[in-house]
Structure 1
């Protein structure tokens, strides 16, 4: 099945206002809805609504951090979604970042790889209805059993950027979720993950045909994200270290404006899809051709006078007929 995913909630659109759009998505060719969890909506509530609004869509978290909830609570939240959307829910988990875990949630960001691995192993047993009484390397669980284990356990996917986590996803999970990469980077990621394992990729789409505006927005995003240690290491591995060195140096010196200005246009063009709706669809399909199984579009706001977000979703439908972006809402 050809998959075509959307990240929700849409920027600037109230959660309740998504109902009519979500209901329309299957008829427009969309197959998946995925959430992110940073400082906006949590990962699970929008999907609980979508489970009722559009019972044909696959739903997924991309991602729920493993350290901001206890293991039992994470299992309960996922089991609830699996009950609401039997066979249609995928739980994406990951390490997240020191900012989100430590600075925003007051939890030590400790041994992220081991914590993801241990959480995955705990979840497998919990979803099977077992009583879990075990000391893992990074936490201990005493006599926990889900009261409502899902009849159809959710697929569990791991947020993975570099070889270690990609190989863990291949060995023990049902797939991997990656982020902030270009279509040309996909074969390197796929080579570590291996064939036959689902690869989900969030793809940032800036809905404008104004190249300079798209690059301005993209430079700010790249500077904010690719200075996070995990993403910095990811792009060193992908070979962008030299191209991003000036950006990292300016960011480390506290000059955010200079950091954004130092991001080369070619890096923005690699990592942020922009152009007409037809061009954006073609760019997303390049990711699929390179080895992504599930492309998940993340609409990037362009600022004042931006295109109508709901209209942009229609324009980006896999078989959409629009050739230009809709007028501002």
Structure 2
């Protein structure tokens, strides 16, 4: 089954405001709905609503951080969604970033690889209904058992940008989630992940034939993301280090305008899907042809069409 996902809730809407369009997604040909968790809605509530509104969709978190909830609470939230959408919920977890974990949530962003690995191992046991008493490298749990383990434990996928985490996903998880990459980059990521493990990626889309406008929208997001150390390291690995160095230097110096201007058009065109709807759909299929299993579209505001029309126009059968 070819997968074609959408990010929910939609940009600029609350989960409830997204109800009618979410309910329409399966008829449009979408197979998946994936949430995010940064500074807006949490990762679970939009999916709990979508479980009722669109009962055929596969639902996933992309991603919830492993530092911002205790291990037991994370297991409880995942078990709740797994019961609401039996066999259709995928738990995506990841390290997130020092800003989200430390600056916003008063946590300590320490040993991210080990914390993700330990959380994955704990969740495997807890969601299977086991009583967990274990000292992991990054935390310890004593005597926790879910009151009601889900009948079908959810698959667990990892946010993974570089070889170490990609290999962990291949060894111990059910898939990997990535973003801000080109179709060509998918091949490099797939090379580390292997051919059998599901690869999911959020793809940011601007439906407009005005390339200059699309690049302006894309640059604002790229500057915010690619200056974060984990994404900077990701693009060093992908081979864009020198292309992005002027942007990073300007950003570090506090010159936001210069940082935006320093992002080359070719980088924006590589990492942001833009053009008319047919061009965008064709570009998404380039990712799939390169080895992406599940594209998760994230339509950005500022394109030529209203939101609902954009979602319909990006549908696989449009």
Range into which the TM-score falls when normalised by the shorter chain: over 0.9
Which residue does 2:314 correspond to in 1?
316
Pairwise mapping of residues 174-323 of structure 1 onto structure 2 (< 5 A)? 174-302=174-302, 307-320=305-318
3-state SS of paired residue (1:209): coil
Q: C-alpha displacement at 1:157, in angstroms?
A: 0.1
1:307 Cα deviation after fit: 2.9
Count matched residues. 318
CA displacement 1:265-324 (0-9 Å, x = unmatched):
000000000000000000000000000000000111228xx631111000100011xxxx
Aligned to 1:30, the other structure's residue is in SS state coil
* Distance across 2 between alignment mates of 1:207 and 1:42: 26
Q: Which residue of 2 aligns with 1:60?
A: 60
Distance in 2, Cα, partners of 1:307 & 1:252 = 35
Specify the alignment match of 1:28 in structure 2: 28
Q: CA deviation at 1:175?
A: 0.5
Looking at structure 2, the residues matched to 22 and 11 of structure 1 have their Cα atoms a distance apart, in angstroms, of 13
Task: Find the residue that maps to 1:195 and give its secondary structure.
Answer: coil
Distance 1:168 1:235 in 2: 20
Q: CA separation in 1, counterparts of 2:9 and 2:19?
A: 11
- For 2:158 and 2:176, locate their aligned partners in 1 and report how far apart those are by CA, in whole Å: 5
Match of 2:153 in 1: 153
- Is 1:15 aligned with 2:8? no
Larger deviation, residues 19-28 vs 278-287: 19-28
Deviation string, structure 1 residues 94-134 (Cα, Å, up to 9, x no partner): 00000000000000111100000000000000011000011
Distance 2:297 2:167 in 1: 25
User: TM-score scaled by structure 1?
Assistant: 0.96
Cα offset for 1:17? 1.8
Any idea what SS the aligned residue of 1:42 has? coil
Alignment partners' CA distance in 1, 2:229 and 2:271: 18
Taking structure 2 as the reference length, the TM-score comes to 0.99
2:105 corresponds in structure 1 to: 105
Residue by residue, what CA displacement relative to the aligned partner does 1:52-98 show, whole Å, maximum 9, x if unpaired?
A: 00110000000000000000000000000000000000000000000
Q: SS at 1:196's partner residue?
A: coil
SS at match of 1:158: strand
Q: Following superposition, which runs of at least 4 residues in structure 1 exceed 3 angstroms of deviation?
A: none
What per-residue deviation string (whole Å, max 9, x for no partner) do you get for residues 137-174 of structure 1?
A: 00010100001101000000000000000000000000
Question: Hey, what's the Cα distance between the residues in 2 that align with 1:209 and 1:79?
Answer: 44
Looking at structure 1, the residues matched to 221 and 11 of structure 2 have their Cα atoms a distance apart, in angstroms, of 14
Range with bigger deviation, 208-217 or 151-160: 208-217
Alignment match, 1:327: none
Q: Aligned ranges for residues 105-144 of structure 1 at < 5 Å? A: 105-144=105-144
CA distance in 1, matches of 2:207, 2:258: 25
CA–CA distance in 1 between the matches of 2:308 and 2:40?
A: 19
Deviation, structure 1 residue 209:
1.4
Deviation at 1:208, TM superposition (A): 1.4
- Offset at 1:14? 2.8
